[in-house]
Amino acid sequence: AEMERTFIAIKPDGVQRGLISEIVSRFERKGFKLVGIKVVVPSKDFAQKHYHVLMERPFFNGLALVLLFAMVWEGEGVIRYGRKLIGATDPQKSEPGTIRGDLAVVVGRNIIHGSDGPETAKDEINLWFKPQELVSYTNNAEKWIYG
């Protein structure tokens, strides 16, 4: 299997609404592997690094990542498929069955972040996690997930 890793974070609205276990379980049940996890209360400067590409957008100052449940998930196709599990940026347009489609209503409170490609995945994992915070282990279900 061609394993890759992606950065997934439950944003303050998702944490405050008690949706951590609901969201973790969707990635877990799919068959992806959790290789890093922590709760972070970042400084404003640090949090703004995460969304630096959106600096010029009018809503940039409203992106308050004051509390994050940060995770790294590993698996075949996890970057692209993670985005599918999450759903469209605007929950009004997210399909039912997706995390945002099922659990959020407006774009400013869309509860979860996921890396949008291999490059951003690498950058975001390096921004939020130190190498020693990521683990390697054998999941005994792997042969039943991948064959």
- SS3 of 64-109: the string is CCCCEEEEEEEEECHHHHHHHHHCCCCCCCCCCCCHHHHHCCCHHH
Cα–Cα distance for residue pair 95/88, rounded to 1 Å: 8
Residues 107-136 vs Mg ion: string with x where CB under 5 A? ---------x--------------------
Q: How far is the CB of 37 from ligand DAT (least distance, A)?
A: 20
Q: Which stretch binds ligand DAT (CB under 6 A): 21-29, 110-118, 122-130, 134-142?
A: 110-118
Do 13 and 109 contact (CB within 8 A), yes or no? Answer: yes
Locus of tokens 């940060």:
70
CB-based closest residue to Mg ion: 116
60 assigned binding-site residue: no
Nearer to ligand DAT by Cβ, of 95 and 142: the residue is: 95
- Give yes or no: 50 in active site: no
Binding site for Mg ion (CB under 5 A): 116
Question: Which residues are part of the catalytic machinery?
Answer: 113
